[in-house]
Chains A and B, each alone.
Chain A
Amino acid sequence: MATQLAEPEASSQASPESVVIRFAGDSGDGMQLTGGQFTLSTALSGNDLATFPDFPAEIRAPQGTLFGVSAFQINFGSTEIDTAGDAPDVLVAMNPAALKTNVGALKPGGLIIADSGEFTKRNLEKAHYAASPLEDGSLAKWQLLAFDISAQTLESVKPFGLGNKEALRCKNMWTLGLALWMFDRDRQPLVDWLNAKFRKNPVLAEANIAALNAGHAYGETAELSGSLHKVHLDPVEAPAGLYRTISGAEAVALGLVMGAKLADLQMFFGGYPITPASSILHYLATMKEFGVTTFQAEDEIAAIASAIGASYAGHLGVTSSSGPGIALKGEAMGLAVMTELPLVIVNSQRGGPSTGLPTKTEQSDLYQAVYGRNGDTPMPVIAARSPGDAFECAIEACRIATQYMTPVILLTDGYIANAAEPWKVPDPAAYAPFPARFLTTRNGPDGTLLPYARDEKGARPWIKPGTPGLMHRIGGIEKNPGTGNLDYSPAAHQAMTDARKAKVDGVAKGIPAQEVTLGEERGKLAVVGWGSTFGPIHQAVRRARGRGLDVSHIHVRHIWPLPENLGDLLRGYERILVPEMNTGQFKTVLRDQVLVDAKPYNKTSGQPFTIAEIEAAIEGALA
């Protein structure tokens, strides 16, 4: 699991303990669904896994085109898996465009399974192939298995009398059946799932099951070249307990529910649809019974403003978006800072400025999270490193927000939001509650009310409107320290700016000291990461250490404020390398905050780092 930090022997990606398979097809071919179900069956078989769904921004791009290709990659095995894998061992290509856009990533000698039925003249043209690659020898460095999946599928569902289009929709189940055979998987969970999914249309359920069985039978009986054979991967060794798979978006939703519960609050979630953040709102909309109210606002600004209103009224206000939406929320974040109300803001980062790469991943909103507001507007920022970790981070965000009366930003990204991993189901009773407190009587001398008095953490009291005798006014305008009355005198602004900063700086006192994730507490090189680069950094450092290199991995959850010991810890290394999916944002924060010579290693292609890329960067840094 991603959270397990044992250090086994360095293993190469090609080791028989793990396999990387990529399903690629038209965006309408159901590849994400195929991948998702393959993931579930993998998890149920006890393998560790990590996935990487990679799909276009268009919902149904024109069929057969290169830009309409949707892919799902999964890395699974009997050892710890932290990334979706650098290069696939197996590529399932449902059409020429899928082959063209994905075959370059396939490992030399890797296996291509192609649906020859889709390699028609027209589809070849759309993929800009002059001749069929299945026939012209251009795929010689890989093993190729091409057969007419389309025809096989049509044949298998014939008895159900479906139209041609509907019948072809079962292709993904045929392919999944073949993949299940290859990896020695039980079909029953899939059969159960199909029966449940098509409960209202049993014919479709039967047709899909027939396609699934036919694909499986094809692997079992067809006389294929030696390239296709059954592979069995033993279950990974994992701590005993109950497991399920979880995506980052689901983990954030569950973590928020858990956090609100621990704070003894109802949750109000104001959101506006945006990729890839919407799924958090989708999940929470089905969790009303856990004290959740969801509100689809008219825009991003209303989403956060309504959440601020909810927090003002005594709920835990939460909002969520992605970079462009977070930009729109900026002014309201300032209001939450000024009024010192708890608020959790989740940013599922995507790529690029403006609309950029809506469905791809990047870590380029770190400056925005830490610095991106007018005025001196400090706000705690935390970052999740994996889908499972997003659960813990969401709880932590709720804790800081309610204990310090402050908005908190939780950073995830498109990769974490969509990716899935096995997750050891936590025991809710194991988490310490942090109940929120509301002021119910006047707190100042001589029966006065001081809405901006501060506790030992620098937090002001939370006063619910509706409380008799505590009527007061708050707002975004500068105020008197104590009474909170409108006051823009020089002394008041100085005192309040200082108080807001001291409060957020003080969050560092309540967070765990930074630990070394892997390796020694001093040495030649520290690779410092944050967020979803955890997997590739961790594996790269593990491999480098396996080769005897003096390198450690440090992964930072608390981006602002940083853990108090981080500076001292980093000064114990000769060199510091910061791999990031941006142009060097955390590197800059580190240089500023702890004054170390952090060196950047950057990638902004919309794709996660591969392990090999970081391994090479480690070698470069040590050279």
Chain B
Amino acid sequence: MNDMTPIGVTTTLKDWESDQEVRWCPGCGDYAILKAVQRTLPEIGADPAKTVFVSGIGCSSRFPYYVESYGFHTIHGRAPAVATGIKLSNPELDIWLITGDGDGMSIGGNHTMHLIRRNLNCQIMLFNNEIYGLTKGQYSPTSRLGTTSPTTPLGSVDRPASPCAFALGAGARFIARGFDVSKHLPEVLKAAHAHKGAAFIEIFQNCIVYNKDRFEDFAAPKGAEDRQLWLKHGEPMLFGSEKTGGIKGIALDHENLCLKVVDVVDGDWQAAKVIVHDVTNRSVAHMLVELPFGAFPMALGVIYDDPRPTYEDALLGQDATAREGKDTSLAHLLAKGQTWTVED
């Protein structure tokens, strides 16, 4: 699997705070995500000089200004393409892509797809607040059916896209989910960073102005154990508690080839045939990202993690091989092909 050893530069959370005033609305979930990142970076031994935060446009895309590293706040939806150019030009840089549901799934959906398909080594943090915040509250491609907004006063009629299912469909080799105020977010970020390749993280984020408490149904601390399925590699998929109606687990419904919720009696999850989470099982990953919330808890944590060679290694490796032993004389290049000489 992945090597989790830190790169080796010693920093503290403070070292990752830039001198820029943070301009998100008070109470915005972005603050918690920023802190989680600033807490994670020292733990993985990241080097501020070799770290680049690249973003598109939207509330979340202001993120790079607040991190004391290199940062590029690009244009709407195009951060993946800019990041590709950066990484191909200097593969030593550690790239964090910051995007949102509008930026990454709508205007920049195409770039998100291709970045994942190519498997550029970077962390993609998609802040999903299911709304357009910066443009004042229009519905987004992840807004639930019936969302009323300035552009859908009668409620939206188009069905939302699922970022994780989209990423998996594009060929992602790492899929994780978390939410802004979750204490588990730094672990998820660490796992994403340890994955060599495009690591896709969907982070549910509370927009307190235009879509307040949208994720309370599963993110609220009360009843969290019943509504959150935190996945851990090698451990059974268990949720619930004895206090709230018993321990439950996720098992395979063999007849219908889908997942089902089963009761775990006396802690004997083996008897209930609860699945042991294997982050390299792509088929189960497909089922987990598609689990309908309500009948099932929300699948969170590292859903899938099975690295493959990265794009930059493949492309730059191919280029390096092509260069081997080649004549690099410009004079020869210019005089290539059939030539003739005009005498004095």
| A interface with B by C-beta (< 8 Å) | 40, 43-44, 46, 189, 235, 238-245, 254, 257-258, 261, 266, 268, 270, 287-290, 293, 295, 297-299, 301-303, 305-315, 317, 331-332, 334-335, 339, 425-429, 464-477, 485-486
A319's nearest neighbour on chain B, judged by CB, is B85
Knowing A244-B335, A466-B49, say if A473 contacts B65 (CB, 8 Å).
yes
CA–CA, A312 and B73, complex, Å: 12
CA–CA, A470 and B110, complex, Å: 33
B77's nearest neighbour on chain A, judged by CB, is A301
Knowing A43-B340, A427-B331, A476-B74, say if A310 contacts B49 (CB, 8 Å).
no
CA–CA, A473 and B336, complex, Å: 44
CA–CA, A239 and B113, complex, Å: 54
List 27 A-B pairs, Cβ < 8 Å: A240-B342, A240-B343, A241-B341, A241-B342, A243-B340, A244-B336, A245-B338, A257-B330, A268-B88, A289-B322, A297-B114, A298-B114, A307-B85, A309-B54, A309-B72, A309-B83, A309-B85, A310-B88, A312-B72, A313-B90, A425-B334, A466-B70, A471-B49, A471-B69, A473-B70, A473-B73, A475-B64
Please give, as numbers and ranges, the residues of chain B lying within 8 Å of A261 by CB-CB distance.
Answer: 330
Knowing A295-B85, A314-B89, say if A428 contacts B327 (CB, 8 Å).
no
CA–CA, A244 and B198, complex, Å: 46
CA–CA, A310 and B83, complex, Å: 9
Interface residue from A244, A257, A310, A471 paired with B339 (Cβ < 8 Å):
A244
* A295-B322 in contact (CB<8A): no
B153 within 8 A of A: no
Please give, as numbers and ranges, the residues of chain A lying within 8 Å of B341 by CB-CB distance.
Answer: 240-243
* A302-B343 in contact (CB<8A): no
Please give, as numbers and ranges, the residues of chain B lying within 8 Å of A46 by CB-CB distance.
Answer: 340, 342
Shortest beta-carbon distance, B55 to chain A, in Å?
8
Please provide the 7 A-B residue pairs with the shortest distance between their CB atoms, ordered closest to farther.
A309-B85, A475-B73, A305-B81, A306-B85, A473-B71, A289-B326, A302-B81
Please give, as numbers and ranges, the residues of chain A lying within 8 Å of B323 by CB-CB distance.
Answer: 288-289
* B111-A243 in contact (CB<8A): no
B135 within 8 A of A: no
* A289-B328 in contact (CB<8A): yes
> Which residues of chain B from 56 to 93 have a CB within 8 Å of any chain A CB?
64-65, 68-76, 78, 80-90, 92-93
Knowing A240-B343, A476-B73, say if A469 contacts B49 (CB, 8 Å).
yes
CA–CA, A597 and B84, complex, Å: 48
* B342-A293 in contact (CB<8A): no
B343's nearest neighbour on chain A, judged by CB, is A240
* A306-B340 in contact (CB<8A): no
CA–CA, A66 and B54, complex, Å: 52
B5 within 8 A of A: no
Knowing A306-B81, A306-B82, A472-B71, say if A254 contacts B49 (CB, 8 Å).
no
CA–CA, A242 and B84, complex, Å: 41
A306-B81, A309-B83 provided; 16 other pairs, C-beta below 8 A? A43-B338, A44-B340, A46-B340, A240-B344, A243-B339, A254-B334, A293-B319, A305-B111, A306-B88, A308-B82, A309-B85, A464-B90, A465-B70, A466-B92, A471-B70, A486-B65
B316 within 8 A of A: yes
Shortest beta-carbon distance, A575 to chain B, in Å?
39
CA–CA, A309 and B74, complex, Å: 9
Knowing A289-B327, A313-B89, A425-B334, say if A473 contacts B64 (CB, 8 Å).
yes
B337 within 8 A of A: yes
* A465-B52 in contact (CB<8A): yes
Shortest beta-carbon distance, B203 to chain A, in Å?
21
Please give, as numbers and ranges, the residues of chain A lying within 8 Å of B82 by CB-CB distance.
Answer: 305-306, 308-309, 312
> Which of A289, A295, A305 has the largest number of chain B CB atoms within 10 A?
A305
CA–CA, A313 and B322, complex, Å: 23
A307's nearest neighbour on chain B, judged by CB, is B85
Interface residue from A238, A293, A299, A472 paired with B88 (Cβ < 8 Å):
A293
Interface residue from B49, B89, B110 paired with A299 (Cβ < 8 Å):
B110
CA–CA, A40 and B65, complex, Å: 57
B341's nearest neighbour on chain A, judged by CB, is A242
B20 within 8 A of A: yes
B152 within 8 A of A: no
Please give, as numbers and ranges, the residues of chain B lying within 8 Å of A40 by CB-CB distance.
Answer: 338
B326's nearest neighbour on chain A, judged by CB, is A289
Please give, as numbers and ranges, the residues of chain A lying within 8 Å of B69 by CB-CB distance.
Answer: 471
Interface residue from A270, A290, A306, A317 paired with B330 (Cβ < 8 Å):
A290
* A239-B89 in contact (CB<8A): no
B333 within 8 A of A: yes
* A270-B85 in contact (CB<8A): yes
Interface residue from A298, A310, A332, A474 paired with B86 (Cβ < 8 Å):
A310
CA–CA, A311 and B82, complex, Å: 10
* B85-A305 in contact (CB<8A): yes
A426's nearest neighbour on chain B, judged by CB, is B334
B50 within 8 A of A: yes
Please give, as numbers and ranges, the residues of chain B lying within 8 Å of A242 by CB-CB distance.
Answer: 335, 339-341
CA–CA, A306 and B82, complex, Å: 4
* A425-B339 in contact (CB<8A): yes
* B93-A313 in contact (CB<8A): yes
CA–CA, A295 and B110, complex, Å: 16
Please give, as numbers and ranges, the residues of chain B lying within 8 Å of A238 by CB-CB distance.
Answer: 342
* B81-A288 in contact (CB<8A): no
Shortest beta-carbon distance, B124 to chain A, in Å?
15
B85's nearest neighbour on chain A, judged by CB, is A309
Please give, as numbers and ranges, the residues of chain B lying within 8 Å of A339 by CB-CB distance.
Answer: 72
Shortest beta-carbon distance, A203 to chain B, in Å?
25
Shortest beta-carbon distance, B335 to chain A, in Å?
5
B45 within 8 A of A: no
Shortest beta-carbon distance, A529 to chain B, in Å?
27
Knowing A288-B319, A473-B72, say if A428 contacts B331 (CB, 8 Å).
yes
Shortest beta-carbon distance, A46 to chain B, in Å?
7
CA–CA, A40 and B340, complex, Å: 10
Please give, as numbers and ranges, the residues of chain B lying within 8 Å of A241 by CB-CB distance.
Answer: 341-342
B57's nearest neighbour on chain A, judged by CB, is A476
CA–CA, A213 and B30, complex, Å: 76
Interface residue from B18, B73, B84, B88 paired with A302 (Cβ < 8 Å):
B84
CA–CA, A429 and B50, complex, Å: 36
Please give, as numbers and ranges, the residues of chain A lying within 8 Å of B49 by CB-CB distance.
Answer: 465-471
Please give, as numbers and ranges, the residues of chain B lying within 8 Å of A243 by CB-CB distance.
Answer: 339-342
* A465-B85 in contact (CB<8A): no
CA–CA, A289 and B48, complex, Å: 32
* B335-A428 in contact (CB<8A): no
Shortest beta-carbon distance, A233 to chain B, in Å?
15
Please give, as numbers and ranges, the residues of chain A lying within 8 Å of B315 by CB-CB distance.
Answer: 293, 295
Interface residue from B48, B68, B85, B344 paired with A317 (Cβ < 8 Å):
B85
* B86-A425 in contact (CB<8A): no
* B75-A331 in contact (CB<8A): yes
* A295-B84 in contact (CB<8A): yes
Shortest beta-carbon distance, A337 to chain B, in Å?
12
Knowing A240-B344, A293-B316, A466-B49, say if A309 contacts B89 (CB, 8 Å).
yes
Shortest beta-carbon distance, B293 to chain A, in Å?
32
Please give, as numbers and ranges, the residues of chain A lying within 8 Å of B326 by CB-CB distance.
Answer: 288-289
Knowing A295-B84, A475-B74, say if A465 contacts B90 (CB, 8 Å).
yes
* B333-A290 in contact (CB<8A): yes
B344's nearest neighbour on chain A, judged by CB, is A240
* A287-B333 in contact (CB<8A): yes
A334's nearest neighbour on chain B, judged by CB, is B75
* B70-A332 in contact (CB<8A): no
